[in-house]
Chains A and B, each alone.
Chain A
């Protein structure tokens, strides 16, 4: 019994140590998520304003809002979907192969339809 108790105290100690470590990591991640969200709201607003105002030429606006969408894609994948975390090598391969085929598909269809 005494042996068991001793063992439990040890693991509890380790557990609490691990918990503090996790807690700090989670708090850091929480701040990053809030910043990502604020950035995404900001980028969305810029895109809408760029289209609503006549100050910028149409051709540049299209390129500009596509770049903003691309940045938002990176925020979603790496921050919200945790692609930057450990153990995401195969998911990254899966999704980027999809994105590659998708890009080819969009260009081909755009060019082929008259």
Chain B
């Protein structure tokens, strides 16, 4: 019977069932609209400066597609696992939701590890730093800001899980987890454009 706790008591959209939840939901979407503009400014600068290499290494020489591909797969899969978590949330499976969010966080950690390895590799093997060229500044600011968002997301979900593990699913905790899932998808959206504009276009020349 215990495994059959699903779909009782909670309404169809528990994340928007209270005024508090509605406000958070709307406010968070507006925040994401603002985040889009933040990243757009960094993308615009990157596109303007991507050939300003100051005589140093070029993007075509620097980037290795297999590493970027693995990182992309990690983040894309983590987006799917947070979709599973959201579906568990909507059907009132608290433990299943926590499980999927843990997997999401671990995949995010894997992505972050790859990014740290990548930056370290660029700095020490190629001398490509934030100070070496205008392109270097634009690259580390754009990709680094995205990485900081991933780090922020991992910290957020870790704290959410620890704080709410004993509370279980209700109309108070549902909006919190739902917003995290939205944030995580947004991070994936930004990464889609980073791997396209920065890495793939960097290889094309």
* A, B from the same assembly: yes
Interface size on A, residues (CB 8 A): 51
| A95-B32, A98-B37 given; A26·B25 CB < 8 A | no
| A51-B204, A76-B188 given; A110·B76 CB < 8 A | no
Interface size classification for chain B: 35 or more
| A76-B79, A95-B33, A102-B39 given; A81·B182 CB < 8 A | yes
CB of B152 within 8 Å of the partner chain: no
> CB-CB contacts of B1-38 with A at 8 A, as 1s and 0s?
00000011000110010000000011001101111110
> Which chain A residue has the least Cβ–Cβ distance from B13?
A87
A85: min CB distance to chain B, Å: 8
> Which B residues have a C-beta under 8 Å from some C-beta of A?
7-8, 12-13, 16, 25-26, 29-30, 32-37, 39-41, 43-45, 47-49, 65, 69, 72-73, 76, 79-80, 82-84, 86-87, 90-91, 182, 185-186, 188-189, 192-193, 195-197, 200-201, 203-205
The docked-state distance in angstroms from the alpha carbon of A85 to that of B19 is 19
- Assess whether B203 is in contact with A33, with CB atoms less than 8 Å apart: no
| A51-B200, A69-B196, A110-B47 given; A22·B76 CB < 8 A | no
